[in-house]
Amino acid sequence: MNSTRNVLDHHLSAFAERDLTGVLSDYAPNAVLFTSRGPLRGVEQIRTLFQTMIAEFEKPGSRFDLELRTIEGDFGYILWKAETAENVYELGTDTFVVKDGKIVAQSFAGKVAPKK
């Protein structure tokens, strides 16, 4: 069984490689991802978010800087900053709940400033 650390490491690595299948493989089928626009329920709704994020971060000049990663049992937390051709992510924070080697819940909050 994958530990929270292993799941989070894989998740970050898959996103860095722009591997949508790898990112989605970290989620339980009925996972919930909480966003400022409301919850995304299940892998298919989460897929739409990551398709958009990967397309944005694939563009030249994009960067993602992990500022902090903390693991406590089934819980993981990351704090990050990023910049893409479209947005400046002044602050991003994700909290993860991992059970049986899969992300079952995640929350995302961020301060995002569009460049245009």
User: What one-letter code names the amino acid at 98?
Assistant: V
The domain over range 4-114 is classified in CATH as 3.10.450.50: yes
The predicted-structure confidence for 59-87, as pLDDT tens digits, reads as follows 999 999 999 999 999 999 999 999 999 99
In what side-by-side order are the strands of the sheet with 27-35?
Answer: 38-41, 27-35, 102-114, 87-99, 75-83, 63-72
Distance CA 109, CA 93 (A): 5
Q: Please report, for the chain, the start and end positions of each structural domain, with discontinuous segments joined by +.
A: 4-114
Distance CA 47, CA 73 (A): 26
Distance CA 116, CA 112 (A): 12
Residue 2: predicted pLDDT = 78
pTM: 0.94
Across the chain, mean pLDDT equals: 96
